[in-house]
Structure 1
Amino acid sequence: MKHLLGILFFILFFNFLSGQNKKDVIDIQITKGDSLNKLKQYTAALAPYELALAIALDKKDKEQQATLYKKTGVQYYRIAQYDISENRYQKGLRLDSISKTAADLYFNLFLVKRKLNQQDSTLLYLEKSLNLYKTLEQDKSAYNVFLSAGIVYKEVQLYDKALLYLIEAYNGFTRLKNENKLAYVCTTIANIQNRLKNYYQALNYHKQALKLHKKLNNPQGIGRCYSNMANVYGNLNLVDSAMVNFQKALSFTKEKNGQYAIALSNLANTYKKTGDIDLANKSLKESIEINTSLKDTLSLLYNYNGMISLFLERNNLPKAKYYIDKAALLVPSVSDNIAILNYYESEVEYHQKKKNYKMALAYQLKYSTLYETVYDIEQTEIVQNLQARFDYEKKENEILKLNLINKDSQLLLAEKNESIKSKNLTLIILAIIMILLIVTYYLFSQKQKATIQSAKIEKLEAIYESQETIKKRIARDLHDIITTNFDGLRLRILALKPTSKKPELIDGITTDIKNVNRQIRVVSHRLYPLEMQMGNNRKFKDIVKSRLTEFQLYGNIFVDLEDSLPEAINDLNLSTQNNFYGILLEVLNNIEKHAHATKLTITCYTDSKDYIHFVFLDNGIGIEHHAKEGIGLLNIKQRCEIINGSCNIQKVDSGTEVHISFPLKKNET
């Protein structure tokens, strides 16, 4: 018996040592793979990782398996074997779907899908990764994912989401005191604000990035920050500030590299705006010298185009011809269509000045053909971005529908339970009858008032329906006839510019026509019937957001939408949507024309009676209580009556507050 116990003890001890040895082997192989990975020997790192994975599979250690599926998947991704990489990530998720490893796996799947350009699932995996990271303890890897998410949403023009995650990354890297990453986040936020034309906010973040790069003693980063700030000042038409910052960018770019050459080229454009042609010429020559040594063909072509423009402006045709010939040698080897378009445009202008109209026409045809190609490419990119946004929103809607179905099922179950508990149905029916009698008496007394109100509303609806028909015809005429004619007129004036003795007069005429054209397009947009704008399955919520964005861009009034627009407004009937949209346009018009405001804050919410409320608060001069009620205010109040709503307009300490409320479902009378 003692011998049997000894043998059993030996077997158990041997198995324990064997398990420990396997664990040691896994750790050793992972360490070896990590070391090779740091040396960027990705193919070599696969062997120890694969061996560790095989041992983990033998041990049936699911946690180690998930980690090693992630590590091997990363290596296959780095050597461009994306199918194998995706397969490894999916296997890892089947073992672990809730930990930090799972969050990393979802993010890695997002990278693979983006690499393979599979837009239908790209943002889905990113969202799954982000949702997991939100539930976990935040660390450096989480903030890196938030930063990547911000960059991705910026690329598809979902700027609200991009800023949301970039601010998370900003706060995280601030807590970690990771100044290098924080500087990168600041620059990315600033670039988004620049695209949104929030130039002063963009400058604020660029300055933060500059301060961080100075602290890190990073001359290249400092130079890039000054260059970015110069571009923002250029957008603000602060030419002197732009020039100073470009000069600072050059001073911090010690090596005369491509970044230095770009800064010189931008500085030359700034000099040109100020009319200092000699300094512009000097900067471009220095940029040409650097790009020639770097053999940067594309940058050289841009430099030559800049020189040609300078000499054509001075009517120095021999010098212009010299650089035209140099540019012509580069065009066949360049794939940048914008640079080639600039070259063709220079050829047209040069031959027109030489009165060689045949050659000018030939290059004009080349320019037109290439311009159409460039336009088609841009349209394709826009469509792809919109498709990505549509797919993302579609998936979000599907998830919302599933949640609603689940809630409906719960409510149905609750109703069945309540019906089982109800045993006094007879008493309830009697009570209901009594209530109905009281309600009937009340309704009868209100019938006359309701009849008068209904007639008034019908009359107003008839008036507005007639107005919508007229507006539809006016909008089509403005858009299809007047706008097209003005565009044609502007192009013909531009074509005559080189032969005119007074180009500044032509520039003024062209600018006036462009302004008139923009104003007509604004009027056309306001008159355009809502049902036509909602073509191609466009939602009413998106039309409202689009109008608010356009108001912010062209009215120079910052719009702060404190609450996201509720989905319920998409389900309103067309008449209610038309009238609310008319109210919105009148409110925005009054603020733009009369309020002298710089900011509009919009709050929206739904109360317990299924009434939706919109509160518009501007920081303008405020409406006076004794002010005469004009057509705009009368129009707002009449439209509120049509949709059975209410309107309250009052002056507050910070400006004017307009409070609109109406039921989500219009009562029938």
Structure 2
Amino acid sequence: MNNWFIFSILSFTLICFSFKTVYNNEKLYILINKAKQLEKNKDFENALEVYNESLKIASSKNLIYNASYIYKKIGLIYYKQKKYEDSKIHFKKSILRDSVTKNAADSYFNLGLIYRRVKEKDSLFWALNNSLNIYKNLDDSADKFSTYSKAGILFKQAGQFNTAITYLLLAYDGFSKQKNLLKNASVCYSIGETQRLLGNLEIARKYLTESLNIRKQLSDTLKTSYAYNNLANLYKNEKNYKSAIVNYREAIKTQNGLKKKKEIGKMLNNLATVYFLTNKYKLALKTYKKALAEKKLEQDTLSIAYTYNELALLAIKNKTYNKAKSYLDSSKLYLSTISKKEVWLRYYEVQSEYHKSRYGYKVAFEFKEKQYQLYKELFDEKQSKTIQALQEKFENQLKLQKISELQTKNEQKKSVITIQNQTLKNKNLLLFLFGLLILILIGIYFFIKQKQREKLQILENKKLEEILESKELVKSHISKDLHDIITTSYDGIRLKILALEKAKNPKEIRKTIIYDIKNINHEIRLISHRLSPLGNKIKEASLNDIIISQLSEFQHYRQIFVAVQLPLPNVLNQMILEAQTNFYGILLEILNNIEKHSKATKVEIKHHIKNNKTLLFEFCDNGIGFKNEQVKGIGLMNIKQRTKLLGGDFIIIDTENGTSISINFPIKQNLI
């Protein structure tokens, strides 16, 4: 009887608890749906209030997935309100609650978007890669492929075209399986544009054509016109003007079928430009006028100024100078509100042509001088951006590689912890004391190991500080070299070009200009090698093959005989990419120093593996030896920095017959 009574009490308690749980869960879902509706209606304040109420229930009942989802939704509302710090806090809380599901993947991606807005590139790629790594382990879904597509676009915008293609193709395959034509049309366009930037024009045309066909199939008239225009732009870049004209006409024809036209002025302008390039001046004139009318309706000030410039140039070619002047005056009127340098550049060019055709050579020269100065500014800006982009790309690759290694280690640690926890749960009481003893021993072991790690970390930090100091010094020298190349060298070339018209010996001056440009190209190539020695070469050949090719090229073009010990050690091909890059960078610097300073006619390269642990290389030339100022040069600093990154050291010795440079580094820590 007593047992039955106890059983009844327990059953009643369990039923009450279950009823309460179901009630709370049902209430939670009602609140979440209510908050979603408020968010949809853009009533963000009330939506936040309801989401926070639902969060209390989810947290009190330890509903991890629901709490993570609610934090994500709150973060999205703050993001829409441009409250990025609040948004960031809630996305991070979402990840902390649940780090392996779709909620975490979405929150990482949204964090990436915030970092992109505040221009924190390192954090952007960290968040983006975390999101993608989680999605890889999730089931296929439209959200997964959409994230791949968006990630591809972000990588493309950052100049990481190969990575962009990888994720865009994953999105393409996914949407193809789901037969989602609308999404696939957008992905095809992104793949086509990325392949165009990579120079793969045939592949680009294939995907842009597929995007066009899908838009037609969906009867999306506006996007179809854009697709025709994109394809025409590709043909124009290939100088296939006939195909470009056909596709521009189709784009315009498609737009004309719409009640509300969009960007038709630019399409007409594109068509007129192709007419101009193919010497169809009457058609070009007629089409530019149509483009101008549409652009005025669209109030596209920038494009209007551009079109007036082109109309003026056509008028000059037709010798209708009054019209040309009128068009130029109109262009100047619009240009007064525009700061875009490219349009001003074209304006100066057309003004110069106008005054030259009217025999006003002095004024024409003044406009030509303005054009040149503006062109130089644009060139300098572009060069600066290109070098900065290359440097950022190199640094991002190193950081992404480090992040990947850390993530792998974290996953391994998580796996070990999971196995240990599972093992401990399965142990019985008799093994408890034994397990406790093991834990104590493990604790002592890790304590001792931690102390050792701290000592090693102090040494590593000191080493990193020295490397960073060297890097900053190298960067400073590279910056100075670039400044000298761009300002001093190009100013010299400019003065020689200006002197050509009055020179008695123009051929000699041209030769010196060509020689100066070759020197500048050589210097810029050297700087490029210092920033990214291997580049994309390592994708197409092994490091040993690249080294042999470089030594052959050096011997052929520099007329310095190279005696290299063959075969090269195969261990070079087995090293990690970072180690291969550093070794190849050292080789390039040594060859550059021999070419630039040694006056040598021969260089001998030997190698040796010591005790299967250390790789030694020795470079001996028969030159004049090192001077004091060379020892402090950027080349040797770069060699020193890269040797430290390999974990080794190098020695320079002046010999009776020239100079000997020896480098050695451990093999094991640099292997894959």
Give the CA deviation at 1:107.
Answer: 0.8
Residue pair 1:143, 1:172 contacting (<8 A) in 2 also: yes
What is the DSSP-based 3-state SS (H/G/I as helix, E as strand, rest coil) of the residue aligned with 2:216? helix
Cα separation, 2, equivalents of 1:487 and 1:118: 39
Per the alignment, residue 652 of structure 2 pairs with none
The 1:121–1:611 alpha-carbon spacing in structure 2 relative to 1, beyond 3 Å, is closer
Give the CA deviation at 1:348.
Answer: 3.0
Give the CA deviation at 1:153.
Answer: 1.4
Per the alignment, residue 126 of structure 1 pairs with 128
Alignment match of 1:540 (pick from 530, 533, 536): 533
Cα separation, 2, equivalents of 1:347 and 1:204: 41
Per the alignment, residue 97 of structure 1 pairs with 99
Residue pair 1:611, 1:664 contacting (<8 A) in 2 also: no
User: Deviation digits for residues 610-666 of structure 1, max 9, x if unmatched?
Assistant: 36399xxxxxxxxxxxxxxxxxxxxxxxx9995679xxxxxxxxxxxxxxxxx9765
Residue pair 1:287, 1:303 contacting (<8 A) in 2 also: yes
Partner amino acid for 1:581?
A: Q
Cα separation, 1, equivalents of 2:407 and 2:31: 45
Give the CA deviation at 1:23.
Answer: 1.5
Give the CA deviation at 1:76.
Answer: 0.8
1:263 aligns with 2:232: no
What is the DSSP-based 3-state SS (H/G/I as helix, E as strand, rest coil) of the residue aligned with 1:347? helix
Cα separation, 1, equivalents of 2:525 and 2:489: 21
What is the DSSP-based 3-state SS (H/G/I as helix, E as strand, rest coil) of the residue aligned with 1:83? helix
Alignment match of 2:573 (pick from 612, 628, 643): 612
Partner amino acid for 2:77?
A: Q
Cα separation, 1, equivalents of 2:404 and 2:38: 45
Partner amino acid for 1:55?
A: I
Per the alignment, residue 349 of structure 2 pairs with 345
Residue pair 2:309, 2:346 contacting (<8 A) in 1 also: yes
Per the alignment, residue 581 of structure 1 pairs with 550
1:75-114 pair list within 5 angstroms? 75-114=77-116
Alignment match of 1:175 (pick from 174, 177, 189): 177
CA RMSD of aligned residues (A): 4.4
Cα separation, 2, equivalents of 1:530 and 1:327: 40
User: Deviation digits for residues 490-535 of structure 1, max 9, x if unmatched?
Assistant: 6788x99xxxxxxxxxxxx9xxx89x95x9967986x779976643
Partner amino acid for 2:304?
A: L
The 1:607–1:341 alpha-carbon spacing in structure 2 relative to 1, beyond 3 Å, is closer
1:554-633 pair list within 5 angstroms? 561=539, 579-583=548-552, 610=571, 612=573
Give the CA deviation at 1:137.
Answer: 1.7
What is the DSSP-based 3-state SS (H/G/I as helix, E as strand, rest coil) of the residue aligned with 1:315? coil
What is the DSSP-based 3-state SS (H/G/I as helix, E as strand, rest coil) of the residue aligned with 2:534? helix
Give the CA deviation at 1:163.
Answer: 1.0
Cα separation, 1, equivalents of 2:606 and 2:486: 30
- Which of 478-487 and 366-375 deviates more? 478-487
Give the CA deviation at 1:150.
Answer: 1.2
User: Deviation digits for residues 38-67 of structure 1, max 9, x if unmatched?
Assistant: 445545533332222232223332221111
The 1:329–1:244 alpha-carbon spacing in structure 2 relative to 1, beyond 3 Å, is same
1:246 aligns with 2:248: yes
Give the CA deviation at 1:232.
Answer: 1.5
User: Deviation digits for residues 323-342 of structure 1, max 9, x if unmatched?
Assistant: 11111211122232222222
Partner amino acid for 2:252?
A: L
User: Deviation digits for residues 267-286 of structure 1, max 9, x if unmatched?
Assistant: 00110011111100111111
Cα separation, 2, equivalents of 1:389 and 1:483: 27
Partner amino acid for 1:610?
A: V
Residue pair 1:579, 1:643 contacting (<8 A) in 2 also: no
Give the CA deviation at 1:262.
Answer: 0.9
Per the alignment, residue 500 of structure 1 pairs with none
Cα separation, 2, equivalents of 1:204 and 1:28: 49
Partner amino acid for 2:273?
A: N
1:184 aligns with 2:177: no
Cα separation, 2, equivalents of 1:77 and 1:405: 32
Partner amino acid for 2:315?
A: F
Cα separation, 1, equivalents of 2:373 and 2:518: 30
User: Deviation digits for residues 364-394 of structure 1, max 9, x if unmatched?
Assistant: 5554554455445445544553454234223
The 1:190–1:45 alpha-carbon spacing in structure 2 relative to 1, beyond 3 Å, is same
Per the alignment, residue 21 of structure 1 pairs with 23
Per the alignment, residue 293 of structure 2 pairs with 289
The 1:377–1:223 alpha-carbon spacing in structure 2 relative to 1, beyond 3 Å, is same
The 1:320–1:586 alpha-carbon spacing in structure 2 relative to 1, beyond 3 Å, is farther
Per the alignment, residue 618 of structure 1 pairs with none
Partner amino acid for 2:123?
A: S
Residue pair 1:103, 1:129 contacting (<8 A) in 2 also: yes
Partner amino acid for 2:306?
A: Y
Residue pair 1:147, 1:185 contacting (<8 A) in 2 also: yes
Partner amino acid for 1:612?
A: N
Per the alignment, residue 336 of structure 2 pairs with 332
User: Deviation digits for residues 171-219 of structure 1, max 9, x if unmatched?
Assistant: 1111111111111111111112222222222111111111111111112
Cα separation, 1, equivalents of 2:108 and 2:403: 18
Residue pair 2:51, 2:70 contacting (<8 A) in 1 also: yes
Cα separation, 2, equivalents of 1:27 and 1:148: 30
The 1:162–1:74 alpha-carbon spacing in structure 2 relative to 1, beyond 3 Å, is same
User: Deviation digits for residues 67-95 of structure 1, max 9, x if unmatched?
Assistant: 11111101110111110000001111111
What is the DSSP-based 3-state SS (H/G/I as helix, E as strand, rest coil) of the residue aligned with 1:80? coil
Cα separation, 1, equivalents of 2:556 and 2:227: 40
1:308 aligns with 2:317: no
Per the alignment, residue 280 of structure 1 pairs with 284
Q: Percent identity?
A: 28
The 1:104–1:323 alpha-carbon spacing in structure 2 relative to 1, beyond 3 Å, is same
User: Deviation digits for residues 244-276 of structure 1, max 9, x if unmatched?
Assistant: 111111111133734211111010011001111
The 1:85–1:296 alpha-carbon spacing in structure 2 relative to 1, beyond 3 Å, is same
Q: What TM-score do you get using the length of structure 1 for normalisation? A: 0.64
The 1:86–1:38 alpha-carbon spacing in structure 2 relative to 1, beyond 3 Å, is same
Per the alignment, residue 434 of structure 1 pairs with none
Residue pair 1:258, 1:291 contacting (<8 A) in 2 also: no
Residue pair 2:126, 2:403 contacting (<8 A) in 1 also: no
What is the DSSP-based 3-state SS (H/G/I as helix, E as strand, rest coil) of the residue aligned with 2:263? helix
Partner amino acid for 1:103?
A: A
Cα separation, 1, equivalents of 2:110 and 2:46: 21
1:395 aligns with 2:399: yes
1:430-509 pair list within 5 angstroms? none
- Which of 105-114 and 345-354 deviates more? 345-354
Residue pair 1:43, 1:75 contacting (<8 A) in 2 also: no
Give the CA deviation at 1:349.
Answer: 2.9
Cα separation, 1, equivalents of 2:491 and 2:365: 23
Give the CA deviation at 1:319.
Answer: 0.5
1:492-531 pair list within 5 angstroms? none
What is the DSSP-based 3-state SS (H/G/I as helix, E as strand, rest coil) of the residue aligned with 1:137? coil
Residue pair 1:304, 1:326 contacting (<8 A) in 2 also: yes
What is the DSSP-based 3-state SS (H/G/I as helix, E as strand, rest coil) of the residue aligned with 2:573? strand
Alignment match of 1:73 (pick from 35, 56, 75): 75
The 1:579–1:481 alpha-carbon spacing in structure 2 relative to 1, beyond 3 Å, is farther
Give the CA deviation at 1:226.
Answer: 1.6
The 1:613–1:123 alpha-carbon spacing in structure 2 relative to 1, beyond 3 Å, is closer
The 1:52–1:581 alpha-carbon spacing in structure 2 relative to 1, beyond 3 Å, is same
Cα separation, 1, equivalents of 2:85 and 2:294: 43
Q: What runs of 5+ residues in structure 1 fail to find an aligned partner? A: 410-477, 497-508, 549-559, 570-575, 589-605, 615-638, 646-662
Residue pair 1:277, 1:310 contacting (<8 A) in 2 also: yes
Residue pair 1:229, 1:245 contacting (<8 A) in 2 also: yes
Alignment match of 2:36 (pick from 34, 37, 40): 34
Residue pair 1:156, 1:388 contacting (<8 A) in 2 also: no
Residue pair 1:130, 1:146 contacting (<8 A) in 2 also: yes
Per the alignment, residue 194 of structure 1 pairs with 196
Give the CA deviation at 1:287.
Answer: 0.9
Per the alignment, residue 592 of structure 1 pairs with none
Cα separation, 1, equivalents of 2:281 and 2:176: 45
Give the CA deviation at 1:609.
Answer: 5.6
What is the DSSP-based 3-state SS (H/G/I as helix, E as strand, rest coil) of the residue aligned with 2:186? helix
